[in-house]
Amino acid sequence: MHDNDPGLDASAPDQGLDVVAVGSAIVDVLSPSSDKDLERLGLVKGSMALVDLARAASLYEAMGPATEVSGGSAANTAAGVAALGGRSGYVGKVASDELGDVFLHDITAAGVVMGRTAPVALGRDADPDADLATGRCLVFVTEDGERTMATHLGAASTLGPADLDEELIARAQVVYLEGYLWDLGPAKTALRRAIEVAHGAEALVALTVSDPFCVQRHRAEFLELLRDDVDVLFANEEEALLLFGVDGFDDALSAVEETGLLAALTRGAKGSVVVTASGSLAIAAEAVERVIDTTGAGDLYAAGFLHGLTSGYGPEDSARLGGICAAEIISHIGARPHADLRRLAARAGMA
Amino acid sequence: MHDNDPGLDASAPDQGLDVVAVGSAIVDVLSPSSDKDLERLGLVKGSMALVDLARAASLYEAMGPATEVSGGSAANTAAGVAALGGRSGYVGKVASDELGDVFLHDITAAGVVMGRTAPVALGRDADPDADLATGRCLVFVTEDGERTMATHLGAASTLGPADLDEELIARAQVVYLEGYLWDLGPAKTALRRAIEVAHGAEALVALTVSDPFCVQRHRAEFLELLRDDVDVLFANEEEALLLFGVDGFDDALSAVEETGLLAALTRGAKGSVVVTASGSLAIAAEAVERVIDTTGAGDLYAAGFLHGLTSGYGPEDSARLGGICAAEIISHIGARPHADLRRLAARAGMA
């Protein structure tokens, strides 16, 4: 149920927003799985693979009974910010179908302002086998709580400049971009424009590099973005090593420090390290009774961190809040919060 | 992932089945809620209300972010039997849409043999506002774990005699019927036929009376069924009192004993009572660390009980297995099992 402060109507068009996230709008299809299953299906544990319609269908057929929960990395972050009491918006594209309705319901019910997009249409050069259904991510959750993902982007793959709600983006303090979008030609153009709009509105630009394979695919572009366009970087340890081409975490830290960016590097059970102009600071992970499903851990860490920052907290407190949100999300199935995140934040002294 | 004994291919058409369940095929849409919300929305806590398309849409709009999980009372029971290693089938109707695909995927992936149904079509007398989308149940879950349901039957409301896979039903040891179906005219005719087929094949007929309001709507018919057609009765305490028009549980027990039926009466945290020809027996509830969502508790109790019976266990052990399955289902969101029920059964000495 909606329980946002009635004084903060994020949907009012003149209202400033803390975070506007841009990403692939996806519904997650989560099912328990085993290492043996992953091997048999040719999936690399812990990774995200983009799959075509036929492969998605055959993987779904091989999958056990599942649970559907709205997902999409940046959308999870926007929902997390709203759950913390922040004002957030989201730019992403779904089709006019049942899963699209589910996605739109969930993000709106979470209190996130959804950007206007153009209707879904195939371009002239489109693959005739392309499916314009709402995107979905098959998430195989192993007993250790690790998730392995196969994403069929569907309608999300058509995100382009016409779908960029520039008015919404111009209202943000932070514009948060999903690295996964660099896999898509038209989305890249849209992202370049989002960065222009953000900087024109004096907003910070935050980037998550999303996934180690995504870093491998777009390393040069990501480094260029970090140099010229990005103000805040989110990466996990493995992604940071790949991004900077180093072998150890300390070397990655030094490389991040050299960029001069504000960065949050997550390390799973080892917590996170925040890099600021005045040096690095390690923050321990929150205790978690039992890890059920790590889907969304990085997304919710980013939600907590950005909510902290846009609420006036320093990087250390913000990282702590990131850890609190990540701990909540890995304690249950799905990448959208169940617990009252505001209550968790208040308990940690961050109301 | 499928993990059924390869020796037991329930889909082979000559293979006997332990349980074939007949019911409304539904996808559950579950969301956290509060008593205040229920009141505001005019919903009666703990009940199931049938709603039309417009009311379903307005309730969904008022609902918070949700999780979609296949449901349907009898379908949950069929899935539970399969999860326990039993052979089960299901007769129920979905539309050719995304949620229909989700339902069919989940029940098939659970190892349940799905009966053939006729394509969905509106009859001549159909309500012009009727929606032929796959049925869905909006489930409002309060902090005490109690669930309050508003169901829009959609395609499930068109279940009729043409949808009855008689060959599948004739393979069953037990044909399990959902009381909710008595709300539907064409389904009632189908159920009468299902009972004939079951008895012709020397199968037992089991009935769950589903819900207190359902009992109020169909009390006379249910009592007639118990006298003439039913061999095994499932009811919770409140339903049993209403069914027999008595004020106390002991009177309900006496009334059930008089019917001469095998019956399992569930009492929530107080466990259950099994009534047999040789008297009644109380079975304590399984300990549950924290009740998260009671959706499906009765359905999974029935799964455990019927799996016990069809595996050759006595009523007491079967009731104990029912309690174990119910305890698993109320420990998480959704009415389909997460844990390995066979492992739980084996731990209780019932492999």
Nearest to B65 among A68, A70, A133 (CB): A70
pLDDT at A131 over 90: no
The neighbour count for residue B193, using CB atoms within 10 Å, is 15
pTM to 2 decimals? 0.92
Q: Which residue has the tokens 């695909």?
A: B101
Residue B274 phi/psi, 5° resolution? -100, 135
| pLDDT confidence of residue A7 | 47
**Residue closest to A183 by CA, chosen among A129, A240, A147, A221:** A221
pLDDT at A127 over 90: no
pLDDT in tens, B131-146: 689 999 999 999 999 9
**Under an 8 A CB cutoff, do A66 and B333 touch?**
no
What is the pLDDT at residue A185? 86
Q: Nearest-CA distance from A121 to chain B in Å?
A: 19
Give the separation between CA A29 and CA B137, rounded to whole angstroms.
19
Which pLDDT belongs to residue B127? 54
Q: Do B65 and A333 touch (CB under 8 A)?
A: no
Q: What is the pLDDT of residues A189-201, one digit of tens each?
A: 999 999 999 999 9
Contact A1 B64 (CB under 8 A): yes
Residue A273: both structure tokens together: 């390290």
Report the residue of chain A nearest B79, measured CA to CA.
A65
What does the pLDDT read at residue B4? 46
Residues B4, B88: contact at Cβ < 8 Å? no
Say how far apart CA A84 and CA A77 lie, in whole Å. Answer: 11
Q: What is the number of H-type helices and E-type strands within chain B?
A: 12, 14
pLDDT at A12 over 90: no
Residue A4: pLDDT above 50?
Answer: no
Residue of B nearest to A38 (CA): B1
Instruction: For chain B, list the domains and their CATH numbers.
Output: 17-347 (3.40.1190.20)
A129 contacts A151 by C-beta, under 8 angstroms: no
- How far, in Å, CA of A106 to CA of A1, rounded? 11
Residues in chain A whose beta carbon is closer than 8 A to a beta carbon of chain B?
A: 1-2, 31-34, 37, 60-70, 79, 97-99, 102, 105-107, 109-110, 133, 332-334, 336, 338
Q: Tally C-beta pairs within 8 A across A and B.
A: 85
User: How high is the pLDDT of residue B49?
Assistant: 94
pLDDT value for B256: 97
Query: Do residues A151 and A16 make contact, with C-beta atoms less than 8 angstroms apart?
Result: no
Task: Compute the nearest-CA separation of A68 from chain B (Å).
Answer: 5
Tell how strand A135-141 and strand A147-152 pair up: antiparallel
Q: Which amino acid, B307?
A: H
**In terms of Cα–Cα distance, which of A201, A208, A216 is closest to A266?**
A208
Considering CB atoms only, which of B37, B106, B333 is closest to A65? B106
Top residue of A1, A26, A53, A289 to mutate, by most chain B CBs within 10 Å, is A1
Closest Cα of chain B to A43: distance in Å? 14
Q: Check pLDDT > 90 for residue A10.
A: no
Query: What is the mean predicted confidence (pLDDT) over A148-158?
Result: 95
Written in H, E and C, the secondary structure of chain A is CCCCCCCCCCCCCCCCEEEEEECCCEEEEEEECCHHHHHHHCCCCCCEEECCHHHHHHHHHHCCCCEEEECCHHHHHHHHHHHCCCCEEEECCCCCCHHHHHHHHHHHHCCCEECCCCCCCCCCCCCCCCCCCCEEEEEEECCCCCEEEEEECHHHHHCCHHHCCHHHHHCEEEEEEEHHHHHCHHHHHHHHHHHHHHHHCCCEEEEECCCHHHHHHHHHHHHHHHHHCCCEEEEEHHHHHHHHCCCCHHHHHHHHHHHCCEEEEECHHHCEEEEECCEEEEECCCCCCCCCCCCCHHHHHHHHHHHHHHCCCCHHHHHHHHHHHHHHHCCCCCCCCCCCHHHHHHHCCCC
Q: How far is A127 from chain B (nearest CA, A)?
A: 22
Predicted pLDDT of residue B10 = 64
- Dump pLDDT digits (tens) for A57-106: 999 999 999 999 999 999 999 999 999 999 999 999 999 999 999 999 99
Best mutation target among B58, B68, B139 (most A Cβ atoms within 10 Å) is B68
Distance CA A175, CA A204 (A): 6
Classify the C-alpha dihedral B84-B89-B91-B97 as positive or negative.
Answer: positive
- Are residues B33 and A66, on separate chains, in Cβ contact within 8 Å? no
CA-nearest of B286, B335, B337 to B84 is B337
Chain B residues whose beta carbon lies within 8 Å of the beta carbon of residue A133: 98
Neighbour tally for B11: CB within 10 Å: 13
Contact A133 B98 (CB under 8 A): yes
The residue of chain B nearest to residue A340, with distances taken between CA atoms, is B32
In chain A, residues with a C-beta closer than 8 Å to the C-beta of B133 are 98
Question: Of B99, B106, B133, which has the smallest distance from its Cβ to A66's Cβ?
Answer: B106
- The residue length of chain B stands at 351
Which residues on neighbouring strands pair with residue B151, listed in sequence order?
A: B50, B137
Nearest to B65 among A62, A97, A109 (CB): A109
Q: How confident is the model at residue A132 (pLDDT cuts 50, 70, 90)?
A: confident
Q: Given the structure tokens 């997460």, which residue do they identify?
A: B338
Whether the per-residue pLDDT at A343 is higher than 90: the answer is yes
The predicted model gives A282-303 an average pLDDT of 95
| pLDDT tens column, A256-275 | 999 999 999 999 999 999 99
Residue A121 has pLDDT above 90, yes or no: no
User: Which of A267, A263, A292 has the alpha carbon at shortest distance from A147?
Assistant: A292
pLDDT in tens, A234-254: 999 999 999 999 999 999 999
pLDDT greater than 80 at residue A126: no
Q: Which of A26, A60, A67 to mutate to test the interface with B (most CBs of B within 10 A)?
A: A67
Q: Min CA distance, B68 vs chain A (Å)?
A: 5
Of A129, A136, A124, A73, the C-alpha closest to A99 is: A136
The residues with which A70 forms a beta bridge, in sequence order, are A27
Alpha carbon of B229: minimum distance to chain A alpha carbons (Å): 34
DSSP-derived 3-state class of residue B33: coil
CA distances from A117 to A94, A104, A159, B256 (A): 9, 12, 8, 60
Q: What is the mean pLDDT of each run of 10 residues along chain B (351 residues)?
A: 50 85 97 97 94 94 97 98 98 95 97 93 55 92 95 94 96 97 92 96 97 95 96 98 97 96 96 95 94 95 98 96 97 93 94 73
Are B109 and A63 a contacting pair at CB < 8 A? yes
| Side-chain-side CA neighbours of residue B301 (13 Å) | 32
pLDDT (tens digit per residue) in A155-189: 999 999 999 999 999 999 999 999 999 999 889 99
Closest CA of chain B from A336, distance in Å? 8
Q: Give φ, ψ of A226 to 5 degrees.
A: -60, -35
Q: What is the pLDDT of residue B1?
A: 43
